[in-house]
Structure 1
Amino acid sequence: MKKALGFISLFLTSCLLLYVVLWINFPEQWNGIKRKVVGSKFLWRETNEHTDDPAPINKSIITSALNLSLPGVTNLYDAENLSVEREDNTTPIPILYKTNFTKLPVWDFEDVYLQDHDARKPICSKSIYNTKDPKFKEAFLPNIQLWLYRGQLNLSEWNRLAHFNNPFGFMEYKYDEIRTAVDLIPKPKSSILLPVLESAKDGCIRCAVVGSGGILNNSKMGKEIDSHDYVFRMNGALTKGFEEDVGNKTSVYVHTAFSVYATILGLHQFGYDSVPQDEGIKYVMIPEGLRDFHWLRGLLEGKMATGDFKGVRPLSFFKGHFNESRFYVLHPDFLRYIRNRFMPSKQMQGNYWAMYRPTNGAFALFLALHTCDIVDAYGFITEDHHKYSNYYFEKFKKTNVIFYINHDYNLEIKTWKELHDTGIIRLYQGQKNT
């Protein structure tokens, strides 16, 4: 009996070794997932920031073939089909780790995104959607899926998104942990964030996106900002006491869990003790990392959060004004699309590739570009940022902008200026050159 068991054990070990050898030496086209660089034709900005040598895939990472049905589609596929579970025999792929890659890994499906058939169809003749700029027009996807919500994250979809680092996907995370949080996110009654106002005879939606830059100090832009149909703000959206320069109206508040938590603590001295609470306000969350999904569970279950926010009750930051029907979570596809097509940084080609992402302000501005027809930006970083304090609420103590490694501020300076010069947005650049 012992001899038989020994023979079986030896046989199974040999089979396992043979399998590993075959896997490592298989031609790449049979490994299920291949790699390629995103074609430069999709980039809005002319750039040399991509190389022809993406991060090498470690063959010890075994990935399964994706179960995607993409007949005749190059960069979009239907979000509606995700409501039907396509589990079959699909299982979560082995977890991919950032440390396995020396630079951003770029997959064959890197530039494939969910589409939304119910996306807004503008009737405004002046709409950004009708731009004549050829580069922006080619990169712009008007039907990109904006929102993440329950019913979207089946196993096939997980196996696609698990190849991208957060906030662009779910690399390093566990399926059950993320899906538990996603299944709590309500599906919006309408995928259209902001309706055309009845008073808008031309059918145009006019939006202001307000950052926190010191360029707004003594700008007297408050009245102009509030004259827009809708006003986007993010992070520490402090208005009390600064209305003359920044206005006091907030229609859309864009945030991460950390930005809500940190700004309320940091700006408490200014009387900022909760997120904006304007009537009918829309809250839009950027799922920045695992801690955001822990925060989401606490927020949507009305309980204390876990993980990094253990002991914190997210609902308390809304002072009783939270409403699920006005709460949205940005989809990783939208965030990756913004990074890939509009804001690719040289930082993605280095050791710190996984740290880079556009700022919350950048995501808020591009959300406005996919939501509104006419967009004006205030308080965003400009070439002469050194002339101003870091924040508009620093009236008596000036601090300078710190160029943290997780953002590419020089790229954002160039991007906002180019969007302005091509007429996509109107960028406030100070009193002398508005």
Structure 2
Amino acid sequence: MVTDETPMPVLFKKSFKKLPMWDFEDVYNQDAPLRPTTCAESLRNSEDESFRKAFLPNIRLFLHKDNINLTEWNRLSHFNNPFGFMEYKYADVMASVKLIPKPKEPLLLPKPGGDGCVRCAVVGTAGILNGSRMGKEIDAHDYVFRMNGAVLKGHEEHVGNRTSVYVHTSFSITTSLYLFKKYGYTSVPNDEGIKYVMIPEAIRDFNWLEGLLKGEKGAGPYHNKWPRTYYAGQYNESRFYVLHQDFLRYVRNRFLKSAILNSTHWAIVRPTNGAFALFLALHTCDTVSAYGFMTEDYNKYYNYYFEKGVKTKVVFYINHDYMLEKNMWKKLHNSKIIRLYQRTDSGTGTEKPK
């Protein structure tokens, strides 16, 4: 018998031939109060009916030691990672979760002396930004979100050089250093006062968190790494956030529910880091502009904006539904909920537009 004092028996992905649907699948924690906004152009005022119906402006964004207990553990253990704790052992995860300090919410605030609007740019790494000359426009926003291998040096004219919020997993923050080294990538963005947001996608992320929060070496695959050294001297627990499983599941369920979830491959499919970053911005900003995200003409561009020479094709990884995301960005743009940067010149994105 499972009680509030007992962790429920571990559920295994292999027990399900497709995404299991619980009667509380679409029930999420919500935080109050909602950040007030006086911004007339806020996306919260959207009249798009489908968006208004799906959007939860005060969805719980962040996981921390004060909002996890055994009852919550048992609820979240019904969902696969990164949407819950399925297959995880209570002791293995709670060792790190109980270290996560309550962050200083909200993540962002209006700039002093402004009109009350929080204007954000979310910058992906797609080749459409190669030669775009969008750097000044991107940096003119109140806040700039980036993720993964955000190579900036030498590309400032096209992608800007400011970063306010950097979204990552333990895998992306470690592997980007050697995957993109040949493009000049030497560290994560490290602007003074930058906020780091982590997506807890697998057990290795909790291994990483334990080392990071204790100031020690990580556990598991990170037993030889010191997590704090990966933040280029800007790690500060008051500016470090971990996305909540409810927020991640809500993004999938209400906006990016792939048909692949109805197949035997259901457990590996999740939205991209860029998608989670963009939806984080939608819940913390009044206006959101997306740059370097997939557009209808993606085949015209490099895989990454920082590539040169032989044109590479866009790489599709099996655990993401890129076409679903592409269509969602276009839909949100057409509904005036985001502004999606799309090329209007006839160039291929491999050289500066005339």
TM-score (norm 1): 0.78
1:172 aligns with 87
- Runs in 1 of length 4+ with deviation above 2 angstroms? none
Q: Find the partner of 2:334 among 411, 417, 421.
A: 421
1:163 aligns with 78
1:136 aligns with 51
Cα deviation 1:348-392 (Å, max 9, x = unaligned): 000100000000000000000000001000000111111000000
Q: Distance in 2 between matches of 1:361 and 1:431?
A: 23
2:307 aligns with 394
State the one-letter code of the partner of 2:26: D
Aligned runs of 1:19-418 on 2, under 5 Å?
64=2, 87=4, 90-189=5-104, 191-200=105-114, 202-418=115-331
The percentage of aligned residue pairs carrying the same residue is 61
Q: Distance in 2 between matches of 1:269 and 1:405?
A: 25
The count of corresponding residues between Structure 1 and Structure 2 is 346
Q: Distance in 2 between matches of 1:186 and 1:224?
A: 35
- Is the Cα–Cα contact under 8 Å of residues 190 and 233 in structure 2 kept in the other structure? no
State the one-letter code of the partner of 2:301: Y
The structure, 1 or 2, with the larger RCO (C-alpha pairs under 8 Å, 6+ apart) is 2
Q: Distance in 2 between matches of 1:348 and 1:137?
A: 24
Cα deviation 1:66-96 (Å, max 9, x = unaligned): x7xxxxxxxxxxxxxxxxxxx4xx3111100
Task: Give unpaired runs (5+ residues) of structure 2.
Answer: 347-354
Q: Distance in 1 between matches of 2:129 and 2:338?
A: 17
Q: Distance in 2 between matches of 1:255 and 1:121?
A: 28
Shift of 1:327: 0.3
Please identify the structure whose Cα radius of gyration is greater: 1
Shift of 1:152: 2.0
Shift of 1:399: 1.4
Shift of 1:154: 1.0
SS in 1 for 2:120: strand
Cα deviation 1:274-329 (Å, max 9, x = unaligned): 21110111100000110000000111111111212221111111232211110000
Shift of 1:273: 1.8
- Is the Cα–Cα contact under 8 Å of residues 219 and 431 in structure 1 kept in the other structure? no
- Is the Cα–Cα contact under 8 Å of residues 214 and 393 in structure 1 kept in the other structure? yes
SS in 2 for 1:299: helix
State the one-letter code of the partner of 2:110: V
State the one-letter code of the partner of 1:342: F
- Is the Cα–Cα contact under 8 Å of residues 119 and 192 in structure 1 kept in the other structure? no
TM-score (norm 2): 0.95
SS in 1 for 2:67: coil
Task: Give unpaired runs (5+ residues) of structure 1.
Answer: 1-62, 68-86
SS in 1 for 2:29: strand
Q: Distance in 2 between matches of 1:319 and 1:133?
A: 41
Shift of 1:269: 2.4
SS in 2 for 1:207: strand
Shift of 1:186: 0.9
Cα deviation 1:30-50 (Å, max 9, x = unaligned): xxxxxxxxxxxxxxxxxxxxx
SS in 1 for 2:284: coil
Cα deviation 1:204-227 (Å, max 9, x = unaligned): 111000000000010000000000
2:352 aligns with none
Q: Distance in 1 between matches of 2:39 and 2:133?
A: 29
- Is the Cα–Cα contact under 8 Å of residues 217 and 395 in structure 1 kept in the other structure? no
State the one-letter code of the partner of 2:196: Y
Q: Distance in 1 between matches of 2:150 and 2:255?
A: 25
- Is the Cα–Cα contact under 8 Å of residues 116 and 144 in structure 1 kept in the other structure? yes
SS in 2 for 1:283: strand
